[in-house]
Amino acid sequence: MKNFNLTDKVKKIDLRFWKDWNLLDGQRRGEVIFRRAFVVAVGYTIVLLLANIYGERVKVFLGGEAKDAEAVETIEEEVKELGVDGAGNLVREGDVVNGQEVVVEEGKATYKYEYKPKTDQVEAIRSFVFDSYKGAYTEEYFNLLEENCSDEGLRTVIALSVAESSMGKNTDKNTNWYGWFKGGNRNYDPDMETMAREICTGVEKYYLGIGSDRSKAIKYVGYVSTTWLSNYKWAYAQMEVK
């Protein structure tokens, strides 16, 4: 009778079984299943690890309860600084868009100086300043005046600068080219933004129509000056809309 050694048979089967398997590239059903299970297990482990590290911050965005107070505060501050302007753009508090500073209130973004479409009058004034007379104005200074003045106020201010200082060319002042002595201070010469706001406000309130009102001209200059008034009227006329 032939002897049957069960142990030897099992060993031979096991050895042949593992020797034939290729867990990395094999296409057998068992090999494919093993690889898929391995990938799922590794992926699940990575998700658990990331959730453990960032879970508290993620909860902030999902509306859950967060223990990371610093993360909550940072996000809340960032949200407060964001707003949507009239054109639907998402902007941040303090940003400068087209030369205008962004101001955000309750999610609504406005600008420090509201945009005003350029009129034919403004274009005529601009042409006189930069193309014809070519005084000392920079684009930045002119834009500040435009933002603070009405069209008529801007035309008056520019004409005053011609009469007083040849549009900034005949003066040692940096911005006060108008003989505007605030509070009697003959050395008044603030930054461009302050000067633009001050001269536009004052001219709009007291001196519109100065070229045809002798009393206003005398009040502005302090005495009757035919030359001053002639220079003013000439400059004012150059900015007529054609």
Strand order in the sheet with 108-111: 90-92, 82-84, 108-111, 100-105, 96-97
Q: For residue 151, what pLDDT is reported?
A: 95
Q: Is the pLDDT of residue 159 over 90?
A: yes
Find the mean pLDDT for residues 205-222. Answer: 93
Q: Is the Cβ–Cβ distance between 111 and 85 less than 8 Å?
A: yes
Tell me if residue 214 falls in helix, strand or coil.
helix
Residue of 173 and 28 predicted with greater confidence: 173
Q: Indicate the SS3 state at residue 182.
A: helix
Cα separation, 103 vs 109, in Å, equals 6
Token readout for 171 is: 């003066």
**Domain segments of the chain: what residues?**
6-62, 81-111, 120-238
Instruction: Say whether pLDDT at 65 is over 60.
Output: no
In the block, which residue shows the tokens 């859950």?
Answer: 64
Q: Which residue matches tokens 């003013």?
A: 232
pLDDT above 70 (res 182): yes
Is the pLDDT at 162 greater than 50? The verdict is yes
Question: How far is residue 40's CA from residue 186's CA, in Å, rounded to a whole number?
Answer: 81
Largest CA distance in the chain: 145
CA–CA distance from 57 to each of 52, 53, 82, 114 (Å)?
A: 10, 9, 20, 38
Lowest mean pLDDT, pick from 23-27, 116-120, 188-192, 213-217: 23-27
